[in-house]
Amino acid sequence: MIDACRAALEAHHARHGTIPSMAGLAKLWGYASKSSAARRVGELVEAGVLAWSADRRLRPGPSFRTADPGLDEAGERWSASYDGELTRAYMMTVRLLRLARSIEIGLARTAASEGLTAGEVLVLDTLFRAGPPHRLAPTALKKHFVISLAGVAKRLERLLALGLIERVPNPDDRRGMLVQLTGDGIALLQRLVQLDRHSSHIMWPTALPEQDYRVMLDALQAAQALIEAEPDDL
């Protein structure tokens, strides 16, 4: 029964772009009372299909299947020219690219709240993840990035000017210097962490049901391994 309610709700949202009120949901699902609809809503919230907004209004949750006319049309065109296997691959790749872009936009917005770019915050985070005393050689920074990042030197100079990092002597090389987080840099990261706790572009995995979270994590790790196993000279 819950699957039928979910399908009806997602079809309604695709047509109207809204989530009905509790009374509207009761009517949509053919229930005699709002209390019956409320129980079903509770199940859908627990499954991640629905979620409550701050003002106690229902909104689509992380598992809500939102219609995507643009991608649906693309799928039809791909399938008309390519085989089903390639079409499936394109559909998944484009969805992942869109997800990554949405996350990038969120990261940039959070960084901008402190007057920084997402790339500059990534440098600070890389130094933090190196562990106390949070220092690395500039040439070693790239090895620790979770993603590739160009223009490291330019970002370092700006962070130095802002007092978020500092240069310190390399104890293992008298001629070398390391870059290290300052107290101000650590404090800034701590402020951003507090923002991240309330940011959907960071916290969305925690809204997934545990099974979906594990399946998605395993699938992404497997996908990464398959891509990295591909020879570079193809």
Helix (H) or strand (E) holding 178: strand 173-181
Residue 142 is which amino acid? K
Determine the average pLDDT of the residues in 6-29.
85
Asked whether the beta carbons of 47 and 209 are under 8 A apart, the reply is yes
pLDDT at 69 over 70: no
- Return all residues near 145 (Cβ < 8 A) that are at least 6 apart: 122, 126
Per-residue pLDDT of 87-103, as tens digits, reads: 889 888 988 988 888 88
Residues of the chain with pLDDT > 90, as a percent, come to: 40
Q: Is the pTM of this model over 0.75?
A: no
**How far, in Å, CA of 136 to CA of 179, rounded?**
6
**How far, in Å, CA of 171 to CA of 178, rounded?**
9
Which of residues 193 and 143 earns the better pLDDT score? 193
Numbers of helices and strands, H then E, in the chain = 11, 5
Determine the average pLDDT of the residues in 79-84.
86
